[in-house]
Structure 1
Amino acid sequence: MTSFTRRSFLATASAASAFGLLSSPGIAQSKDLVVGTWGGTFGDLLKENVDEAILEPAGWNVLQEVSGPVPRRTKLITERTQRRGSMDAALLADFDMHAAAKVGALEELNADNVASYNNILPFLQKKHSVPLIYSAHAIVYRKDLITTPPESIAELWNPAYKGKIGLSDFLYTSNMAYSAIANGGTLSDFEGAEKGVQQWKDLDAKLLPSTEAVGQALSSGDIWITIISAARGYSWNKSGIDLGWVIPEEGAFPAVYEAAVPKNARNTDGGMAYMDALLNPRAQAAFAEKMGYLPTVKNGSISPELEAQIGFTQAEQNRLWQPDLDFIMENQASMLDSWNRTLKG
């Protein structure tokens, strides 16, 4: 279900001009800015460190349209034929954003319309989106309940953990990638993935509806092991859950989340302002400190101590998979159908 959160203006239009966020002097601009995003902890983080800290003082009135990634991606793609869409900025995982870019739903981004564009780390730079956070979907586990770190993805199917394996419904793509690799597939061929998903069902794996639900299940001991971003493992550790995370020997699925401006946005200026705000070093530092996601910009700075906790060694970086985004785009509907049919049928 989609919901809206509205906050009043905190500054005048002159403040927006001072920040360079109005594109056409003398022309009245709508200051409402609709952002399609996740809710929960992440939505709160955006509200505090992007909306209230950067955009509202510049005169923008940010409205969060909260939904799951599948309906948000679907809306972004299906609305592209309409004269005006319902979002001015949309946040999605990289593979979802890739699908929207492929059908021409997104504005092209560059240093002319996003001031901080050239600060993006080169390996994360794209033409139709900006990276707001990145980490990796690793194996996260309760250290007090699983005392030997799981070195292989095979541990995700260990019969000793029957009834204690947790799977985020949101992360079905990453979960199926793990399942494919475990069963002889590749990132361009998910053959074997359904077999692994069926094995999870046989092991009474718990299907959880949100990231927050995964954290709650780990906290209660309802689950012991899961696939979730290493960043989440860090942030939940801070809340007092005794968690470890590993990049297994077979590798791990990158966790890159991006933002884009629909071509038919009602407020393109606002969307571009949002892109720039997400890349602000202060916002990037907050993403790192509060949620454990690594900065996506060259001028982002975190302490060596934090880097040691949330970063990846060179060996771990070398093991991160390179997803075939075209394959995922072409097969995502069938993957979701297989996922739902096996675990929910």
Structure 2
Amino acid sequence: METPIYILGIESSCDDTSASVICNAQILSNVVANQEVHAKYGGVVPELASRAHQQNIVPVVQQALAQANIGKEQLAAIAFTKGPGLMGSLLVGTSFAKSLALGLNIPLLDVNHMQAHILAHFIKSDDNKMPPFPFICLTISGGHTQIVKVTNYFEMEVLGETIDDAVGEAFDKSAKIIGLPYPGGPLIDKYAQLGNPKAYPFTKPKVGDLDFSFSGLKTGILYFIQKQQRINPNFIKENLNDICASIQFTIVEILMDKLKNAVKKTNIKHIAIAGGVSANSEIRKRLQLAEKHLGWTTYIPKFEYTTDNAAMIAISGYLKYLNKDYSDVSVTAKARLKVTE
């Protein structure tokens, strides 16, 4: 019987305050407090986000410990998100983690949020298959779009990334163009289920083999909608499902094209996805089809580990703890941080 190693993970990079307790790679609790305040502004307001984190962090950590049924004295270490993210939000989590680690006299572990999205695949559960090294991970979220080659837990190489907007932003901005509320990505996914994905062809951007670009696509969608509305003012209302299905189909096609290029280039056929947009039903469906038709083995995380959550911070912290890769108390939050840092 292995000795239980309890680690508390804290995530506060954007607008969700989250705390999680892990015991030897198994999640005992994963508590997330969402911030409703941003919906009426159509996006995350940094100042409001950091204030909400300050209100949420103590109750969220208390709840995570209570759900895991352990006392804070049993913790072996505290892991927290160092970056990338919104500076004000990161500072709340960083300060809290430092104070708690100092108070309990236990190690502190700083975690790269982007690496954590990828390492969520190594959370132990009955139905979780873990990717073998090396594997390719498509990291897709509101702030990031990258193809990463993962050689071991903390050795990663970016093969391609977006040269402008992230894919999550492309979904949300397209949703805004057609009058859907923020966050619009999940709504596009919902209406797309009922529409024809080939109804309206949008032009795919021309960039390098493994790089992405979404700003031109957004502009193309905007002009298309404006033109159609001049002809028929009720165009969006009458064709909402088809519009959403066509937008989603184009975006997912772009992602799949780049993944195919990455497989060709590296000859690695173990493909994982990570990040908030990996909750999208179309990308999940297309990856499952690729298993059948392209001979890939695909790894799709559980829904609760796709968006920002502390379970992924806790598993990253646990892996760092095993390496004795502790942080100094002078560690600072970083708003910008590459996945390789």
TM-score (norm 2): 0.27
